[in-house]
Amino acid sequence: MNFVESIMTQNPCYTEGRKITVKGLMLHSVGCAQPRAMAFINSWNTPSHDSSCVHGFIDGNDGTVYQTLPWNHRGWHAGGAANNTHIGVEMCEPASLNYTSGATFTCSNIPEARKSVKRTYEAAVELFAMLCKLFNLDPLGDGVIVSHNEGHIRGIASNHSDPEHLWNQLETGYTMDGFRKAVKELLNKGVADFPNGGSTEEAYPYAGPAGTYPTVPFSVKVLIDNLNIRANPNFGGAIKGQTGRGVFTVVEVQNGWGKLRNGTGWIYLEEKAYCTVLDRLISESYERKSIDEIAREVVNGKWGNGEERKMRLTEAGYDYNAVQQRVNEIIWNP
């Protein structure tokens, strides 16, 4: 699963800062023909969007999971009491849908729509298994994993029919009972942890003596778009790229240089105008492109060929096999 943390820090729900004890997970679908998760994130991550906020989106083009709230923050997704207990995740929907009335739609390309829904379903199964592991939840427990529709039936959510309306009208065969069983099965087989263990803690600038650092691993917040990543821990090291803004994990320190956990190289930690060393380890949140975006760059020749491409994608933290699969889909179904 390709996982990107993209916290909507400008949304009033985030700035309100209320926390919850997580007791369950609610599955949603967006209810409109928009497969791109970033379309929602860009629209919702503003101070003026004060009506909704979820913990995550699943992209319909490639299945990338975007975390948009810390897991233990109270979201605005259910329209009812489930906001106080449940994490809410939205699955994006195929571009070929045309909503005609309420939850009823027509579809201009059913085979492609089913492929998109399959991507989001499978990513949601993996995400929910990881969340059940993180919060010690039983996927088959009463009211632990519910859809928005089921939440309404239980009286803890507003009157929505998602995501069952999507699955049923496309005749996918998916059901919430089947979803819960799939999550349980994956959890029993073993599922990966979130980056940094799924930490939900807040972090503050490190206040130790000059020239000292927290115990590794720790987090660093990069404040500029183009902080150089070097091959070696000195200014003579070859420049391998730039970080972009965000939160990164440092796993080793040498002479004021921090080695990034993602394997791309070293960044200079001593210039406070460039970055802030944090007092603890939190989840990484730097901007990463979706599998679909990277695949299109591959098609356009930006990542080289053969082993060079594999090495570069892997060093940048992308799932090479997932990228190649999407490349093949684009080539054969442009």
For 63-117, how does the pLDDT look when each residue is reduced to its tens digit (9 = 90+)? 999 999 989 999 999 999 999 999 999 999 999 999 999 999 999 999 999 999 9
Using pLDDT thresholds of 50, 70 and 90, give the confidence band for residue 292: confident
Tell me how far apart the alpha carbons of residues 233 and 228 are, in angstroms, rounded to a whole number.
Answer: 11
From the number of C-beta atoms within 10 Å of its C-beta (0-12, 13-18, 19+), residue 243 rates as buried
Q: What pTM was estimated for this model as a whole?
A: 0.67
pLDDT tens-place string over residues 231-286: 999 999 998 877 878 888 999 999 999 999 877 799 999 999 999 999 888 767 66
- Report the candidate in 62, 113, 121, 2 with the shortest Cα–Cα distance to residue 292: 62
Per-range mean pLDDT, top range of 38-47, 62-71, 178-187: 178-187
Domains observed in the chain? 3-198 (3.40.80.10), 218-277 (2.30.30.40), 291-332 (no CATH)
The answer to whether the CB of 64 falls within 8 A of the CB of 37 is yes
| pLDDT over 90 percentage in the chain | 66
Q: Can you give the pLDDT at residue 18? A: 93
| Distances 75 to 36, 84, 111, 160, 195 between C-alpha atoms, Å | 21, 8, 34, 17, 21
Q: Which residues have C-beta within 8 Å of that of residue 242, sequence separation ≥ 6?
A: 225, 226, 227, 228, 229
